[in-house]
Structure 1
Amino acid sequence: MVNAPASLALRVQERALATGFAACGIAGAGEDPLRAARLEEWLGEGHHGSMEWMETRLAHRRSPQGLWPEAKSVIALGMSYAPAADPLALEGSAEHARISVYAQGRDYHDVVKKRLKALARWLVDEVPGSQVKVFVDTAPVMEKPLGEAAGIGWQGKHTNLVSPTHGSWLFLGAIYTTLDLAPAEPHRDQCGSCRACLDACPTNAFPAPYRLDARRCISYLTIEHKGPVPEEFREALGNRIYGCDDCLAVCPWNKFASAAQAMQEFLPRAELVAPRLGELLALDDAGFRALFSGSPIKRIGRDRFIRNCLYAAGNSGNRALAAQVELLTQDPDPVVAEAAEWALARLR
């Protein structure tokens, strides 16, 4: 461990803001027994669905030191992607699909990691001999609880991080370091009696406040779930084809978020703000890859994406889509073909 000057924590926060982050806080890297127990309980109830990696790397998720024993501090960071338009504006449209706000711009993995690396290089230059590791969403790191511990927000009743200045619209990243930095005070919960996020969920994915059953969550079903979506949830998907913003969008704390705080890279691409279902259903693999180059949507592949579009078509009541849907009943992918049969039956 390298001893850190007392003023370094403040300088880290100043540098983080200059690097493009909207929020920065510091937490210790040791295990929080309550946080670890809640994770184990959630996994024990099977609420992670088919995300097996959550369970197989439990030891690494329990604490930062479980992943990297030499870590002494965690720098928790948030980058704003606050939208300018209402994320719920296209609800019920028969012609357009809804893509979650976070996926309408550039892939946040690339953007956030680039800024994390820049901040980490600065830190190593400031304190020679210190070591760092950067993480954004693809490693066994509990970014949301760490963000709360570092004081940049609190985990709301929808289990996402809520910032008093940026609302629900933050991409999270973390820097683990061997430096022993002065930690911040954990952020206190400010949800109060509000339950707007719980009541907004179309699939009742919250068995209780602060608890999420991913198996019922539209974001999980449209992104992580690989097979056919269970029929009990298909109608509730509406025209959502990638993710869901409902529980985030209704949070009253978003009134303090400003689109002017969002990074330029996260500004929505025009073709993804209100995409037409008919055009999306026509995508082959090459067309899918071309349209979603540089987008997080590319990660789910053409077949899963078309599956989602077919559920949206079936929910649309738009009979003009029936001919395209019927063609997809012959798709080589059996999940796509079954989704097309389901959609066609509803359209007819």
Structure 2
Amino acid sequence: MYSGLLKEIAAHGDRGAVVPISRFGELKYEMEALKTNKYHGFSDWMAGSMAIPDDLGFQPCSLIAVIAPSPKVMIGFTYHGKLIYFMVPPQYLDYGYKDNEVLQYINAYLEPFGYRAALFDKLPQKLLAVRSGLGLYGRNNLCFHEEFGSYIRILTYISDLPCDEAAWFPARRMDLCEKCSACVTACPTNAIEPDQRIINAFTCLTAMNEVPGEFPEWLSENAHNSLIGCMKCQDCCPGNSHNKDNIIKGVTFSEEETKELLMHKEDEPYSDSLAEKLNASGFYAGFTKVLPRNLAVLLKNKSA
């Protein structure tokens, strides 16, 4: 039965895997084991958060992992009469709608057979994708798919679809990583250590510019390269060599809108028109909170 579901997922341009619900316990055990790592912050939080909901309305039998391609997006800002583009890395602008879009077509396939699925993200999504055979880790701890590289969104679901057995692989890196250190060299904050499975989340640029507040004094303004997140360790990776030009143009902001963004205070609302434009363009609430600060740094670098 689940082979038909995988074909349905592929027909929508995505890639999927189904594993028995028993694998959930193994995933939790692996996250618990990572607590001993010196950069265990996320592992500690995830292990403590992992639980199967009681209110699913069905008896869970399987986990479904889906990898969806997610291109980089160029966003335009009119500033001092010039149109300037800055990058948004994969997955930030399809946050919140892609997971529901995939759930809809999964359930449209399952329900005629008497099964259903629900969103379920309280588990290590990258680890599930790698263990189920959908991808491999890079040295930068991102998940790489053979077709889409790291320009992806990983989505996870829980279902009553029967699955007694499925392929289960060890957590492993791409063979390319063995003799490559491109991401180690490219990282602007030296967050990738060759002998560590997990990157240093305390110094990773993405971990800093995804959250509000002032940047630490030690962080160079020149390190910033995207409106949120960072592309340095991805664009240099051989695992993305066939896919690095997967870029689309997104929304463009006028001079007045750019000015409002730069002057915006975190505790104040955006104007109705700008708020509507941001929402329609995929900017989720967390992104809009840090956008003014991040944009200001990028524009300063551009004019320097």
- Give matches, 1:124-135, under 5 Å: 124-126=111-113, 128=114, 130-135=115-120
- Give matches, 1:90-101, under 5 Å: 96=84, 98-101=86-89
Assess, with a 3 A threshold, how the Cα gap between structure 1 residues 288 and 305 changes in structure 2: closer, same or farther.
farther
Amino acid paired to 1:98: F
Q: Determine helix, strand or coil for the equivalent of 2:241.
A: helix
Q: Determine helix, strand or coil for the equivalent of 2:249.
A: coil
Assess, with a 3 A threshold, how the Cα gap between structure 1 residues 250 and 300 changes in structure 2: closer, same or farther.
same
- Give matches, 1:49-198, under 5 Å: 55=44, 58-61=47-50, 66-68=51-53, 70-83=59-72, 96=84, 98-102=86-90, 106-126=93-113, 128=114, 130-135=115-120, 139-181=121-163, 182-186=165-169, 189-190=173-174, 191-198=177-184
- Give distance in 1, aligned partners of 2:290 and 2:26: 37
- Give distance in 1, aligned partners of 2:282 and 2:216: 24
1:28 aligns with 2:25: no
**TM-score under structure 2 normalisation?**
0.76
- Give distance in 2, aligned partners of 1:162 and 1:79: 12
Q: Which residue number corresponds to residue 215 of structure 1?
A: 202
Q: Is the 8 A contact 2:140 2:199 kept in 1?
A: yes
Q: Which residue number corresponds to residue 254 of structure 1?
A: 240
Q: Is the 8 A contact 1:134 1:175 kept in 2?
A: yes
- Structure 1 runs not aligned, ≥5 long: 1-7, 49-53, 88-93, 319-348
- Give distance in 1, aligned partners of 2:288 and 2:61: 42
Amino acid paired to 1:24: G
Q: Is the 8 A contact 2:73 2:250 kept in 1?
A: no
- Give distance in 2, aligned partners of 1:76 and 1:309: 34
Q: Which residue number corresponds to residue 79 of structure 2?
A: none
Assess, with a 3 A threshold, how the Cα gap between structure 1 residues 213 and 47 changes in structure 2: closer, same or farther.
farther
- Give distance in 2, aligned partners of 1:252 and 1:226: 32
Once the two structures are TM-superposed, the CA of residue 207 in structure 1 deviates from its matched residue by: 3.4
Relative to its length, the structure with more strand (as a share) is 2
Amino acid paired to 1:109: G
Q: Determine helix, strand or coil for the equivalent of 1:240.
A: coil
Deviations 1:109-143 (A, max 9, x none): 202321223213421322x2x442224xxx42211
Assess, with a 3 A threshold, how the Cα gap between structure 1 residues 239 and 112 changes in structure 2: closer, same or farther.
same
- Give distance in 1, aligned partners of 2:6 and 2:301: 47
Q: Which residue number corresponds to residue 329 of structure 1?
A: none
Once the two structures are TM-superposed, the CA of residue 79 in structure 1 deviates from its matched residue by: 0.8
- Give distance in 2, aligned partners of 1:301 and 1:36: 27
Alignment: residue pair count: 278
- Give distance in 1, aligned partners of 2:292 and 2:180: 36
Runs of 4+ in 1 over 6 A off after TM superposition: 276-279
Q: Determine helix, strand or coil for the equivalent of 2:218.
A: helix
Q: Determine helix, strand or coil for the equivalent of 1:171.
A: strand
**TM-score under structure 1 normalisation?**
0.67
Deviations 1:58-80 (A, max 9, x none): 3343xxxx324853321111111
Q: Is the 8 A contact 1:27 1:149 kept in 2?
A: no
Once the two structures are TM-superposed, the CA of residue 232 in structure 1 deviates from its matched residue by: 1.0
Assess, with a 3 A threshold, how the Cα gap between structure 1 residues 245 and 192 changes in structure 2: closer, same or farther.
same
Once the two structures are TM-superposed, the CA of residue 278 in structure 1 deviates from its matched residue by: 6.6
- Structure 2 runs not aligned, ≥5 long: 76-81
- Give distance in 2, aligned partners of 1:242 and 1:78: 21
Once the two structures are TM-superposed, the CA of residue 271 in structure 1 deviates from its matched residue by: 2.0
Once the two structures are TM-superposed, the CA of residue 306 in structure 1 deviates from its matched residue by: 1.6
Deviations 1:29-68 (A, max 9, x none): 33226622344335x74644xxxxx75563343xxxx324
